[in-house]
Amino acid sequence: MEYFANIGKIKYEGAQSQNPLSFKFYNPDEVIAGKTMREHLRFAMAYWHTMCAEGTDMFGVGTADKSYGAADPMELARNKAYAAFELMEKLDIDYFCFHDRDIAPEAATLAETNARLDEITALIKELMDKTGKKLLWGTANCFGNKRYMHGAGTSPNADVFAFAAAQIKKAIEITVALGGDGYVFWGGREGYETLLNTNMALEQDNMARLMRMAVDYARSIGFTGDFYIEPKPKEPTKHQYDFDTATVLAFLRKYGLDKDFKMNIEANHATLAAHTFQHELRVARDNGVFGSIDANQGDMLLGWDTDQFPTNVYDTALCMYEVIKAGGFTNGGLNFDAKTRRGSNTAEDIFLAHIAGMDAFALGLRVADKMIRDGRIDKFVSERYASYESGIGKKIVDGTVTMEELEAYALAMGDVTTNTSGRQEYLENIMNAIMFG
């Protein structure tokens, strides 16, 4: 059965094409800087938004039909899997990401839930073998069920901690069974509403204990991919522990987990933390923990996670600039953790939204490659720090200077006499010239 019967395979037709169901900028096999666009971008479909979410918000019911003609929850899970692979085939998306509960619904007991997961995992494996599609990462939904009302790994209730551990163990097993390249921890409800009822130190110690056990278990069953933490500052809790990349780095280092985890940076989470997307990517890159990306964008006038499909080329360009500078993706990729607006409620809108996101990142990649080949921005930055390449600057960098020597140097100088312009406006205009020239 075909679920998107009126939509064919999406092909690259170039920027002049007016066919809405075609790529204007994403040409998968075109080589840029030694790699195909497909290899650079490693697009992934997010099962939860694309296959499951119907557009429900706190003011109203869903507007999109995601029932796939099913009569019961397990038939729905099976039909959804077939529909997912048809969608990936038609959109030429090579990877997907899922939470355990996206692919199979929870049953009355954990044992029954796990049996359901096994059945759908086997079906997904069959579809992967048939189509060549791959799992970018798996994760556990430890936030949706009401048992997680106070968190999972950070719950004050040890029974909840145990249940979460069991759920994560199973999610790791199915990720391994499907050959996943990664496993994600997004904090879900790991945070707090008020410190008046919270033992923050114990909650964070427990989260670290759970992560340590999860890593050790995954390695023991042969998982060779990457673990990621996905930072987010707020929502659903008022204060999420994995606030931003810098906060997560401090957590990982405190608990000796820094060799085991990389970051999954989400654009809209960065903006909620009052950072640019590029800032979060730069902090990850500079600290050797750049891993994967949840590709979306927020609305700068709204204070919540709108999870819009990414279309802002300035942001995708600066993102791909960081990705290329980080050496490109290894196990990571660009996962569209994004949903169509509630008013864009047709299956065709889902295709149009992915096309828009893929084209925006293809443009971003093209611009980033030009920025690097152009060289003016990189040259400007390196010249800006030239004073550290010789004389007193080199001594500072080499760590061969003392406070006394610096004082003597400053006294001899009397005052700083030269300071060159940062030339921000000039650089922004170079960026525009590269984008539109």
Binding positions for Co ion, rule: CB under 5 A: 266, 294, 337
CB of 268 to Co ion, least distance (A): 8
Three-state secondary structure of 268-331: HHHHHCCCCHHHHHHHHHHCCCEEEEECCECCCCCCCCCCECCCCHHHHHHHHHHHHHCCCCCC
Decide which of ligand XUL, Co ion, none touches 139; Cβ closer than 5 to 8 Å per partner kind: ligand XUL
Q: Which of 94, 102, 294, 305 is catalytic?
A: 102
H/E run at residue 417: none
Q: 3-state class of 210 per DSSP?
A: helix
Of 189, 232, 279, 366, the one binding ligand XUL by CB under 6 A: 232
- Does the protein bind ligand XUL through residue 369 (CB under 6 A)? no
Of 94, 100, 173, 230, the one binding ligand XUL by CB under 6 A: 230
What are the backbone angles phi and psi of residue 199, rounded to the nearest 5°?
-95, 85
Tell me whether residue 305 is one of the annotated catalytic residues: no
CB nearer Co ion, residue 294 or residue 322: 294
DSSP 225: S
Of 173, 260, 280, 294, the one binding ligand XUL by CB under 6 A: 294
361, HSE (Cβ side, Cα atoms, 13 Å): 31
Of 76, 88, 135, 184, the one binding ligand XUL by CB under 6 A: 184
The type of residue at 11 is K
Q: Extract the runs of DSSP E, i.e. beta strands, from 24-130.
A: 31-32, 35-36, 43-46, 95-99
CB nearer ligand XUL, residue 80 or residue 232: 232
CB of 144 to ligand XUL, least distance (A): 10
Q: 3-state class of 365 per DSSP?
A: helix
Q: Which of 326, 425, 422, 426 has its CA nearest to residue 376?
A: 426
Q: Which residue is nearest to ligand XUL (CB)?
A: 186
**Hey, which residues between 134 and 153 contact ligand XUL (CB under 6 A)?**
139
CB nearer ligand XUL, residue 230 or residue 369: 230
CB of 232 to ligand XUL, least distance (A): 6
The CA distance from 406 to 395, in Å, is 10
**Hey, which residues between 46 and 85 contact ligand XUL (CB under 6 A)?**
none
Kindly tell me the burial class for residue 428, based on how many C-beta atoms sit within 10 Å of its own C-beta (0-12, 13-18, 19 or more).
Answer: exposed
Contact 265, 275 (CB under 8 A): no
Q: Which of 99, 269, 279, 354 is catalytic?
A: 99
Contact 171, 218 (CB under 8 A): no
Q: Which residues contact 131 (CB under 8 A, 6 or more apart)?
A: 85, 88, 89
**Hey, which residues between 381 and 420 contact ligand XUL (CB under 6 A)?**
none
**Hey, which residues between 320 and 339 contact ligand XUL (CB under 6 A)?**
337
Decide which of Co ion, ligand XUL, none touches 232; Cβ closer than 5 to 8 Å per partner kind: ligand XUL
- Does the protein bind ligand XUL through residue 186 (CB under 6 A)? yes
The type of residue at 10 is I
Tell me whether residue 65 is one of the annotated catalytic residues: no
CB of 32 to ligand XUL, least distance (A): 27
CB of 285 to ligand XUL, least distance (A): 20
CB of 109 to ligand XUL, least distance (A): 24
Decide which of ligand XUL, Co ion, none touches 280; Cβ closer than 5 to 8 Å per partner kind: none
- Does the protein bind ligand XUL through residue 114 (CB under 6 A)? no
The CA distance from 152 to 414, in Å, is 59
CB nearer ligand XUL, residue 307 or residue 322: 307
The CA distance from 119 to 105, in Å, is 11
CB nearer ligand XUL, residue 54 or residue 348: 54
- Does the protein bind ligand XUL through residue 266 (CB under 6 A)? yes
The CA distance from 122 to 413, in Å, is 73
Tokens encoding 354: 């992915």
CB of 307 to ligand XUL, least distance (A): 7
Tokens encoding 371: 């920025």
Just list the catalytic residues: 99, 102
In the complex, the residues that contact ligand XUL under the rule CB under 6 A are 99, 139, 184, 186, 230, 232, 266, 294, 305, 337
